[in-house]
Structure 1
């Protein structure tokens, strides 16, 4: 799901159906072709050897973090097309449907539930997006020396 306007720290989110991201990439490339043009590059901010964590664990770890500690960062992907590029938060496949949908909508800049519903879920989605935006600022826009 993409935001209406690209160029933010996070332009949308992708929620693969399984943990096999490579298997699902052709579907993502096809879905993004219209918005980005022919896809020419894809970059990720994680190692294939890192196990995926659910978003609830990532958000909880960041909330409990003390000074000097590191938290598991959200997975990001930059998809570069011939006409545009998009920075995507990759929602882990094991994420609950309720949280996954809320994160997809939040990442795309869409309204969530209009103030009703599970406030804990909304707070988790908000923390995940803050972490993703901070990671995007560091990873996608490194300070050059």
Structure 2
């Protein structure tokens, strides 16, 4: 069982946003504090337990060998070395007994300003008009669009009966 009997105070609270209504290509975002997703996963599961019920499945669209997409490089326009493969956004599908969410995983080293906007956009939360008129918001919006496209592609593959037979 993965439910927590009591609550405990975390030194670094889980950074998670969820849309009020679930079921979109992206339902929210999780922003780990470190690059060690595995170390922070128990806290995420504990927080999601309240919304989803007991967590029964977690799927990700990346492998340990894949590099993370650097969201801040989208803002600055910097690119990696020539020939370097551009990474796709990292996504998680977390299924509970009562509901399921699709989360964009914000890279831990993302700037606070961009990370906060991406989190709000991913959960369809309101953003002040002044912030909407900035290049930073344009970047957050592009990140979300790319994540939505990747989510639809990835989840379409997960629902393919041939792939489901291979996963089981």
| TM-score, structure 1 normalization | 0.87
Contact 1:55/1:92 (<8 A) preserved: yes
Gaps in structure 2 of 5+ consecutive residues:
1-16, 79-84, 163-168
Aligned length: 138
1:116 CA displacement: 3.6
Moved more, 70-79 or 33-42: 70-79
Alignment of 1:74-113 (within 5 A): 74-113=89-128
Structure showing greater relative contact order (alpha-carbon pairs closer than 8 Å, 6 or more residues apart): 1
Moved more, 118-127 or 25-34: 118-127
Where does residue 73 of structure 2 map in the other structure? 57
User: Which stretches of structure 1, 4 residues or longer, exceed 4 Å deviation after superposition?
Assistant: 58-61
Larger Rg: 2
Contact 1:58/1:71 (<8 A) preserved: no
Aligned Cα RMSD in Å?
Answer: 2.2
1:114 CA displacement: 2.1
1:135 CA displacement: 0.2
Gaps in structure 1 of 5+ consecutive residues:
62-69
SS of equivalent residue, structure 1 residue 115: helix
Contact 1:45/1:77 (<8 A) preserved: yes
Where does residue 18 of structure 2 map in the other structure? 2
Q: Deviations for 1:84-127, whole angstroms, at most 9, x for unmatched residues?
A: 10000000000000000000000111012223476110010010
Where does residue 48 of structure 1 map in the other structure? 64
